Amino acid sequence: MTPRPDKEVGVAHIFAAARYSLGGVKRLWGETAFRHETLAFVLITAVFALVDAPLWGYVGAALLYLLTASIEALNTAVEEITDHASPNYSEMAKHAKDLGSFAVFCLLLANAVWAVFVLWTHWMAAAV
């Protein structure tokens, strides 16, 4: 077993945290769901650009995407830990994974509602 490295302090801690975050992004990019969520964000942004959506629509979409990415990362972490702790089938492990999946689903729904809201209000304002 590899010994745990010493904790970084001071400015080195900031660089270490950045390395860990980049490692997390690299790991998350390996998840098909995260790649699909990223593609959906790019498509929503493109649609907003095509219809000349207001800036607040882009800001809301970006914040919801970041929140979705963070919850997807936590869901992936739960799945990894669950698979490690319970390599055989376990009802408790299933519940943990299902709950993580539901959290991601809720945010995907929030993203869709936001996109529809932005487009609807933009079109209604243009119709007046």
Give the count of domains, the chain.
Answer: 1
**Residue 77 forms part of a structural domain:** yes
Instruction: Flag whether 11 is in a domain.
Output: no
Which of the residues 8, 31, 37, 72 is marked catalytic?
A: 72
In a domain, 3, yes or no: no
The alpha helices in 6-128, defined as continuous H runs, are: 11-29, 32-50, 55-85, 91-127
Residue 13 lies in a domain: no
**Other Cβ atoms within 10 Å of 88 Cβ, number:** 5
pTM over 0.85: yes
Q: By residue range, what is the domain housing residue 61?
A: 32-127
Helix (H) or strand (E) holding 1: none
Residue 28: CB atoms within 10 Å? 20
Is residue 36 situated within a structural domain? yes
pLDDT tens, residue by residue, 2-50: 888 888 888 989 999 999 999 999 999 999 999 999 999 999 999 999 9
> Any idea what DSSP says for residue 52?
T
Q: Does 72 qualify as catalytic in the annotation? A: yes
Q: How many CB atoms lie within 10 A of CB 115?
A: 22
| 38 belongs to a structural domain | yes
Q: What angle do CA 26, 28, 34 make, to 5 degrees?
A: 130
Domain CATH code at residue 55: 1.10.287.3610
Q: Answer whether residue 44 is part of any domain.
A: yes
In a domain, 78, yes or no: yes
CA within 13 Å, CB half, 65: 19
Q: Which two tokens stand for residue 6?
A: 């010493």
pLDDT in tens, 86-104: 989 999 999 999 999 999 9
